[in-house]
Structure 1
Amino acid sequence: MKVLVAGATGAMGTELVPRLVEVGHEVFAMVRGEAGKAKAAQWGAVPVVADALDRAQVEAAVRQAAPDVVINQLTAIGHIDTRHFERSFAPTDRLRTEGNDNLLAAARAAGVRRFIAQSNGAFTYERTGGPVKTESDPLDRAPVAPMASMIAAVRHLEKAVLDATWTEGIVLRYGAFYGPGTSMAPGSEQLEMIRKRRFPVVGDGGGVWSFVHVADAAEATVAAVEKGGRGVYNIVDDDPAPVAEWLPELAAMLGARKPMRVPRFVGRLAAGEAGVVLMTELRGASNAKAKRVLGWKPAHPSWREGLKVA
């Protein structure tokens, strides 16, 4: 099939584009400039240049590729400052709303038959009920203020894709990425903070995280291209775990001392309201549907083994 990947040079695109080429798809990589064109060509993809926020450029790129499938992997997530969570996610929020709408409009005009979009299953589920959520569970309907714009952008993207009756809309809710090119890559700032004991457990550390190795997420996306049906899929590993469990274990992997524990009010001062939510109130996600429908199994079934070789 002919597949266009928007966000082709991000952490996910870097894993995804070569895999799509390897299994025989004709891949078009939507990039913004010369550096991206060189990477795409190196992977065996055809570069098409467009700024995702410029509708005319996006329409021209999709028209040039004439793809069967469009994959939206557009993000702009750099360092996340939990004290200013909304500021950290603002560029990505715009890509998930305006950028995704531009891609959908271009895809409709080109008669694209399958549209796949990256969503977030790590930080977005409602913070009530059981510790592990399925795709039928709602996104957070009453998010704390610093996280409201991020969750609203995710909700906008998902509704737009799933309501597009002219195509087969697929939403992939990825867990917290680790592995090459991610915020939890070897030597990353986040791992260094844990190593230096600057990443404490806040409160009871009861927030449940679902991780996924970025390579496993790419494999699931290839499966969605080839086998997916309309709907939402959690793309996470088999081992959701509370912060109080995974953070000390990761510190031990890094040869660091056990993380400090601080009360919620101290955590709020240091990491803001969003930081406290991430540490104490998150819910994890189940990957049962993705395994059943996509025939996908993560090569790294648990962060416990995956992070050792990430």
Structure 2
Amino acid sequence: MRVFVAGGTGVLGRRLVPRLVARGHEVIATTTSAAKLDLVVQLGAKGVVMDGLDRMSVRDAVAAAQPDAILHQMTAINPVHAGQPSFKHMDRWFAGTNRLRTEGTDNLLAAAQATGVTNIVAQSYAAWNGLRQGGWVKTERDMLDPMKGTTAAPGMAAIGHVENAVVKAGGAVLRYGWFYGPDATEALAEPVRKRQFPIVGDGAGHTSFVHLDDAASATILTVEQHAKGVFNIVDDEPAPANQWLPYTAACAGAKKPMRVPVWLARPLAGQVAVILMTEGRGFSNAKAKRELGWTLRYPSWRQGFKEELA
């Protein structure tokens, strides 16, 4: 197939593009900067500069590519674009990404319709943001938490827009867990080493992770099978913070994370961080394994963290 990867130089795009090429697909990958076109070539793809927020730019790029499939991997959470990560100020941290998940999604879907593309796969998120009711592990039938009243609410609304619009267009939405792997693990390990990532309260809140290579393999299966609907792309072991954080510290050669009571964490780190640590819900990957035939190289974050941080 001719596969158009919007956001081909992001952390997942850099793992995804060469794998698509290796499987015989012709890949056209976008970047927002001409300076990154050489990187796209190194990945084996044809590069094109595109502004996902400019409808004409998207229309022209897709029309020129004449793809059989479109992969929406556009985000703007790199510190260059979004500043330093902050759960306390998640609305500011994800402002650019939220626009790409709303305006950018609409632009891509309009371009897809204009060129007759129906094989569409878009990025969503499922790490700790399951609805805070019932059990700790959620399926695709469960709602995501809208996080009303928190700084994460605009981001959850943007995710809802992606999911509704892409599924309505007959495409597939992949709810990726918390990424780790090349160019992603250090973003988690660095604050752990600096003891800036404490366990809040009882640390019972669950999180689901996924290695970038496993996320890439699931994405390829989805586009090759022209799958439709929503899939959780996470590993086999959703885990509470009181397990994965100390394990991460041990793998990174750091001291054990500190423990902070909820009353202190709320003003310091914000309500979203408290929710993640104490009430977060993880996700099940059973549907993706069953319907896509997906197998994981890293079934557990335990194996992956140990290897990545060795």
User: After TM superposition, is the score higher than 0.5?
Assistant: yes
1:108 is aligned, of 106, 113, 133, to 113
Asked if 2 retains the 8 angstrom alpha-carbon contact of 1:206 and 1:279, the reply is yes
Counterpart in 1 of 2:143? 138
- Rounded Cα–Cα distance in structure 1 between residues aligned with 2:96 and 2:178: 19
Q: Secondary structure of the residue that 1:100 maps to in structure 2? A: helix
- Rounded Cα–Cα distance in structure 1 between residues aligned with 2:149 and 2:203: 18
- Rounded Cα–Cα distance in structure 2 between residues aligned with 1:105 and 1:61: 12
Counterpart in 1 of 2:234? 236
Counterpart in 2 of 1:72? 72
Name structure 2 gaps, 5 residues minimum. 79-83
Q: Secondary structure of the residue that 1:130 maps to in structure 2? A: coil
How far 1:215 moved relative to its partner?
1.1
- Rounded Cα–Cα distance in structure 2 between residues aligned with 1:260 and 1:57: 48
Asked if 1 retains the 8 angstrom alpha-carbon contact of 2:147 and 2:156, the reply is no
Counterpart in 2 of 1:175? 177
Name structure 1 gaps, 5 residues minimum. none
- Rounded Cα–Cα distance in structure 2 between residues aligned with 1:30 and 1:142: 32
TM-score by length of 1: 0.95
How far 1:75 moved relative to its partner?
0.5
How far 1:121 moved relative to its partner?
0.8
Counterpart in 1 of 2:42? 42
1:211 aligns with 2:213: no
**Letter paired with 1:255:** G
**Letter paired with 2:176:** Y
How far 1:308 moved relative to its partner?
1.4
2:196 is aligned, of 173, 198, 203, to 198
1:92 is aligned, of 69, 83, 97, to 97
Q: Percent identity, aligned pairs only?
A: 54
- Rounded Cα–Cα distance in structure 1 between residues aligned with 2:243 and 2:33: 43
1:246 aligns with 2:251: no
- Rounded Cα–Cα distance in structure 2 between residues aligned with 1:251 and 1:143: 32
How far 1:228 moved relative to its partner?
4.4
Counterpart in 1 of 2:274? 276
1:195-238 deviations in Å (ceiling 9; x for gaps): 23221100010110000001110111011111242100000000
Counterpart in 2 of 1:301? 299
- Rounded Cα–Cα distance in structure 1 between residues aligned with 2:258 and 2:15: 35
2:260 is aligned, of 259, 262, 268, to 262
Q: Secondary structure of the residue that 2:88 maps to in structure 1? A: helix
Asked if 1 retains the 8 angstrom alpha-carbon contact of 2:128 and 2:206, the reply is no
Q: Secondary structure of the residue that 1:5 maps to in structure 2? A: strand
RMSD: 1.2
Asked if 1 retains the 8 angstrom alpha-carbon contact of 2:146 and 2:153, the reply is no
Figure out how many residues of one structure are paired with residues of the other and give that number. Answer: 303
1:238-283 deviations in Å (ceiling 9; x for gaps): 0100001111111111222221111101111221111111111110
Shift >6 Å, 4+ stretches: none
- Rounded Cα–Cα distance in structure 2 between residues aligned with 1:135 and 1:35: 39
Change (3 A) 1:143 1:123: farther
TM-score by length of 2: 0.95
- Rounded Cα–Cα distance in structure 2 between residues aligned with 1:88 and 1:142: 16
**Letter paired with 1:128:** Q
